[in-house]
Amino acid sequence: MIVTGGEDLPLDLGTPFAVQLGDERRCIGTWHRDGRRPCPFGHRIDPEATSPQCRPCAAADPGKAVARDTVLDNRRYHLYLAWFGPGLVKVGICAVHRGLSRLHEQGALASTWLASGEHGPIRRMERAIAEAGIAVERYRHDKKVSAWWAYSTPERRHNELSAAHQRAQAIPDWPEGVDLAPCLVVDHTHLYGLADLPLGLDRAEALQPGAVAAGRLCSVVGSNLVLDNANGPVVIDARLLAGWPIEPVDAGTESGVERASLRASAQQALF
């Protein structure tokens, strides 16, 4: 969902979508277990920035502090493998209470759990798996988007994840207190509307003040919205919307969206 004026705007595939941005984009503040705390500085954020936080808030954000290993966290964590396209296997961790929602937020096309345990040991194994070349800890946004046209078959997704799972659990000396999980591949492709993905599309590089993002909602993959309108289909990373005042509009013509070309035919050659 997209939050507009304090209300949730549902993202229903195949339906019209239209929102208009306000005049200024500002830092969204920090997230804590009891909710969001506004930025005490009211810092402005550049239109092209995918992070909607200013530097002080990003440095103070508890979630990012955990990712940087600068604070202790006594929650239990999953260690997972996620598949983003042929040859694109990612290793990562997420708090157990998040379940599969973390995978859906990233736009993972399939995934399996590897293990669970306390943050420290799970984080060490994440690094060990990456250092062994079994999977990587992150992929660039454009590389994941490029793989949407090559999401292949369920069998390939399952086989690549199963092979990576087997190699990862074969690493010697797993820490005590870490519980290994069997390979149970969950396919997520049905959630995203990839079958309705246009053969070629642009991507939004920035949204200008007062911009209107509008069109038929073709796909929602993680934080990415694919809209089709008179200017042609475009993928908008919803992180570009964060920090703007946003209001739904009944109908709209796209304006203020800076585009760059991203063509399926060129991307398919990568795989």
Please report which confidence band the pLDDT of residue 125 belongs to, taking 50, 70 and 90 as the band edges: very high
Q: Is residue 175 part of a domain?
A: yes
- What is the residue whose two structure tokens read 């943050």? 119
Q: Is residue 59 part of a domain?
A: no
247 with 217, same domain? yes
- Please count the structural domains in the chain: 2
Of 78-92, 181-195, 251-265, the poorest mean pLDDT is in: 251-265
- End position of a domain, from candidates 147, 166, 189: 189
- End position of a domain, from candidates 145, 167, 189: 189
The residue-averaged pLDDT of 210-232 equals: 94
Q: Is residue 70 part of a domain?
A: yes
pLDDT at 65 exceeding the cut of 90: no
12 with 120, same domain? no
Q: Is residue 61 part of a domain?
A: no
pLDDT for residue 4:
52
Q: Residue 225 corresponds to which tokens in the numbers above?
A: 């919205």
Of 62-66, 166-170, 189-193, the poorest mean pLDDT is in: 62-66
153 with 113, same domain? yes
pLDDT at 271 exceeding the cut of 70: no
The SS3 of residue 141 is helix
Is 93:125 a contact under the CB 8 Å cutoff? no
Report the b/e string of 182-221 with b at 16+ CB within 10 A. Answer: ebebebbbebbbbeebeeebbbbeebeeebbbbbebbbbb
184 with 128, same domain? yes
Q: Is residue 101 part of a domain?
A: yes
129 with 173, same domain? yes
- For 181, the domain range is 66-189
pLDDT for residue 25:
97
The residue-averaged pLDDT of 86-106 equals: 94
93 with 183, same domain? yes
Q: Is residue 248 part of a domain?
A: yes
- End position of a domain, from candidates 189, 215, 237: 189
pLDDT at 69 exceeding the cut of 50: yes
Bridge partners (DSSP) of residue 152 are: none
pTM of the model: 0.86
Helix H or strand E segment including 144: helix 141-146
248 with 166, same domain? no
